[in-house]
């Protein structure tokens, strides 16, 4: 049996330990904020935090998260008011919105690790997340704004 805390709630998983965290969270727990975009850690739409680090949950087996604290977009902040989320709204970032959960989780992890990133560090830190609507300019600005608050 695999145990983990997801957004602060203890969970026991009895299924195939190879199942990616994304599908456990989406299909079995019904937390649908984390998105499926590529299934191969290429786009970042599924980004979650495992023990505070950003992971691509589409390729992270549930077994790898055994004993960990997992945070999804739903658990980032109880009121949806994490500095990154506030900055996202202030910059009116989203277009279709689909990639934004993953973008926000990547940005939050980046700022957690490096509260004062340079422009280059923002670009490096965010280039694993694809946005096909092309909101990069606003994401970049929003991360800068959020960096001033964390």
Partner 1 sequence: MLGVQNISRRTFLKSAGVTGALVLGANAATGSMIGTARGQSNGSSVKPNLFVQIADDGTVTITCSRSEMGQGVRTGIPMILADEMEADWQRVKIWQAPGDETKYDPAGKDAQNTDGSRSTRHHFDVMRELGAAGRYVLEQAAAKKWGVDASEVYAKDHRLYHTGTGQWFDFGEVVDAAADIAVPTGDAAPKLKDQSQWKYIGRDMPVVDSYDMSTGGATYGADISVPGMKIAVVARPPVYRGKAKSFDATEALKVQGVEQVIEIPALSDAMPAQFRALGGVAVIGTNTWSVMEGRDRLVIEWEDGPNVRHDSGTYNDELMASARAGGLVIRDRGNVDEALGSAAQVMEAEYFVPYFIHTPMEPPVALVDATQMPVKIVSSTQAPNETRQYVAEALGIEKSDVECQVTLLGGGFGRKSKPDFACEAAILSSKIGAPVRVQWTREDEIRHGYYHAASAHQLKAGLDASGNVTAWHHSGAWPSLVSLWNPVQRTGFPVEFGLGLIDTPYNQVPNLRIENGETDAMIRVGWYRSVNNIQHAFAMNCFANELAEAAGRDPVEFLLELIGEADVMDLTADGVEGHWNYGDAIEDWPIMPKRLSNVLRVVAEKSGYGKAMSPGHGLGIACHRSFHSYVGTAVHVVVREDGSLHIPQVDMAIDCGRYVNPEGVRKQMEGAAIYGHSVAMHGQITTTQGAVDQSNFHDYTVTRMDDAPLDVRVHIVEDFTHLRPCGVGEPGVPPYTPALVNAIYQATGKRIRRLPIGDQLESA
Residues that bind partner 1 (CB under 8 A): 15-16, 19-20, 23, 26-28, 30-40, 42-43, 45, 72-74, 76, 80, 85, 88-89, 92-101, 104, 123-124, 126-140
Structure tokens at 31: 């937390």
**For residues 9 and 42, which CB has a smaller minimum distance to partner 1 in the complex?**
42
Sheet holding 9-13, edge to edge: 9-13, 2-6, 69-71, 47-50, 53-56
**For residues 49 and 138, which CB has a smaller minimum distance to partner 1 in the complex?**
138
Dist. CA 107–CA 142, nearest whole Å = 9
Q: How far is the CB of 39 from partner 1 (least distance, A)?
A: 6
**For residues 5 and 39, which CB has a smaller minimum distance to partner 1 in the complex?**
39
Dist. CA 44–CA 108, nearest whole Å = 13
């Amino acid at each position: 049996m695999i145990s983990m805390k997801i957004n602060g709630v203890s969970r026991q998983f009895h299924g195939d330990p190879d199942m990616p965290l994304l599908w456990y969270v989406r299909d079995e727990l019904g937390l649908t904020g984390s998105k499926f975009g590529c299934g191969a850690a290429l786009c970042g739409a599924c980004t979650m935090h495992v023990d505070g680090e950003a992971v691509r949950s589409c390729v992270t087996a549930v077994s790898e998260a055994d004993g960990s604290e997992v945070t999804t977009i739903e658990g980032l902040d109880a009121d949806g008011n994490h500095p990154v989320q506030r900055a996202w709204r202030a910059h009116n970032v989203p277009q279709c919105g689909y990639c934004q959960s993953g973008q926000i989780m990547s940005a939050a992890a980046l700022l957690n690790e490096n509260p004062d990133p340079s422009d280059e560090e923002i670009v490096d830190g965010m280039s694993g997340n694809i946005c096909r609507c092309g909101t990069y300019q606003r994401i970049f600005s929003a991360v800068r704004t959020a960096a001033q608050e964390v």
